[in-house]
Amino acid sequence: MISLRNVSTHFAGKRGEDGFTAVDDVCLDVPAGSIQGVIGFSGAGKSTLLRNINLLERPTSGQVVVDGVDLTALDDEGLRRERHQLGMIFQHFNLLNNRTAQENVELSLKFAGVPKRERRERAAEALEIVDLGDRARSYPAKLSGGQKQRVAIARALATKPKVLLCDEPTSALDPRTTGSVLQYLADINQQLGITTVVVTHELDVVKNIVDDVAVMEAGRIAERFAVDDLRSGAFQPTTEIGRYLLDADLHIKRVPLAERRRHVAANSTAAKELAHV
């Protein structure tokens, strides 16, 4: 579903200073319907890589192919259209404070070119998915951190994306709220089959919802492994973070990807429309 081919991102330095290569020749394939984790120390290039996927940060070189479309080859109009297939959520929610939950979600639909009469209904549907139907008229200031992040998830889902990009979606939340937001992300992945990439510092996120992990170090992917292989001992990580994951107890059960895909295929037509698997 997502294929990064030799993606590099170089930030030019100011006059006289050397530039900085934040993402260095990364190749990564994320299968449809899976949840890809990206972990690594601060400054490793995780956020830049995530922003490369929807071209919020256009890579200096390499290709980004999503569902068979080379985003890096599109013109502005083509990219604008394709971007609506890529939902994104951020660490600090990025909601507009002077708009209600419903209006925040409707705004993303407006940007996606959805006609006004459809926006209200689709925003309401998206808020239902994250169980916030009853808070549609609340302003962000009146919502808890977890609720704000759920509005942000609804906003990302409203355009019916094929891909959900999450940059540290739970690091501003307390552990219990983290659990609830992770559950929503796992449920959405399972029910709608949305291919998800999660950048995180938190091992809980990796242990609970991720299928595959990519460890970033200094702009490169230092290693990759399936969380199941880590669990079974079939894979021995070589990076410091990978080894740490191995030591942390992994006891949460996940439905295998093939089973999740079957579940999606067997489910509602709306889900089929979204799944693209």
Ligand X SMILES: Nc1ncnc2c1ncn2[C@@H]1O[C@H](COP(=O)(O)OP(=O)(O)OP(=O)(O)O)[C@@H](O)[C@H]1O
Q: Which stretch binds ligand X (CB under 6 A): 41-49, 64-72, 188-196, 254-262?
A: 41-49
Given Mg ion, ligand X, none, residue 20, with its beta carbon under 5 to 8 Å by kind, binds ligand X
- Which residue from 2, 54, 3, 4 is spatially nearest to 24, judged by alpha carbons? 4
Q: How far is the CB of 216 from ligand X (least distance, A)?
A: 6
| DSSP designation for 13 | P
Question: Using CB under 5 A, which of 9, 34, 36, 47 touches Mg ion?
Answer: 47
User: In this complex, which beta carbon is closest to ligand X, that of residue 106 or of residue 168?
Assistant: 168
User: In this complex, which beta carbon is closest to ligand X, that of residue 40 or of residue 161?
Assistant: 40
User: In this complex, which beta carbon is closest to Mg ion, that of residue 13 or of residue 43?
Assistant: 43
Are 165 and 50 contacting, i.e. CB atoms less than 8 angstroms apart? yes
With binding defined as CB under 6 A, does residue 45 bind ligand X?
A: yes
* Distance separating the N- and C-terminal Cα atoms of the chain: 8
Question: Using CB under 6 A, which of 6, 11, 144, 187 touches ligand X?
Answer: 11
What b/e sequence results for 106-127 when a residue is b if at least 16 CB atoms lie within 10 Å of its CB, and e otherwise?
bbbbeebebeeeebeebbbbbb
With binding defined as CB under 6 A, does residue 40 bind ligand X?
A: yes
Q: Which of residues 48-67 bind ligand X (CB under 6 A)?
A: 48
Q: Give the other-Cβ count within 10 Å of 229's Cβ.
A: 14
Q: How far is the CB of 52 from ligand X (least distance, A)?
A: 9
With binding defined as CB under 5 A, does residue 200 bind Mg ion?
A: no
Task: Please report how many Cα atoms fall inside a 13 Å half-sphere around the Cα of residue 259, on the Cβ side.
Answer: 4
Question: Using CB under 6 A, which of 4, 26, 35, 46 touches ligand X?
Answer: 46
What b/e sequence results for 162-200 when a residue is b if at least 16 CB atoms lie within 10 Å of its CB, and e otherwise?
bbbbbbbbbebbeeebbebbbebbbebbbbbbbbbbbbb
Q: How far is the CB of 230 from ligand X (least distance, A)?
A: 21
User: In this complex, which beta carbon is closest to Mg ion, that of residue 52 or of residue 102?
Assistant: 52
Are 8 and 21 contacting, i.e. CB atoms less than 8 angstroms apart? yes
User: In this complex, which beta carbon is closest to ligand X, that of residue 167 or of residue 211?
Assistant: 167
Q: Which stretch binds ligand X (CB under 6 A): 42-50, 145-153, 206-214, 258-266?
A: 42-50
* Cα 60 from Cα 175, distance rounded (Å): 37
Q: How far is the CB of 110 from ligand X (least distance, A)?
A: 28
User: In this complex, which beta carbon is closest to Mg ion, that of residue 50 or of residue 66?
Assistant: 50
> CA distances (Å), 70 to each of 2, 46, 84, 166, 273, in order?
10, 21, 15, 21, 21
- Which residue from 19, 50, 23 is spatially nearest to 217, judged by alpha carbons? 23
Question: Using CB under 6 A, which of 44, 71, 95, 209 touches ligand X?
Answer: 44
Are 166 and 89 contacting, i.e. CB atoms less than 8 angstroms apart? yes
Given Mg ion, ligand X, none, residue 155, with its beta carbon under 5 to 8 Å by kind, binds none
User: In this complex, which beta carbon is closest to ligand X, that of residue 2 or of residue 112?
Assistant: 2
Per CB under 6 A, residues contacting ligand X are: 11, 20, 22, 40, 42-48
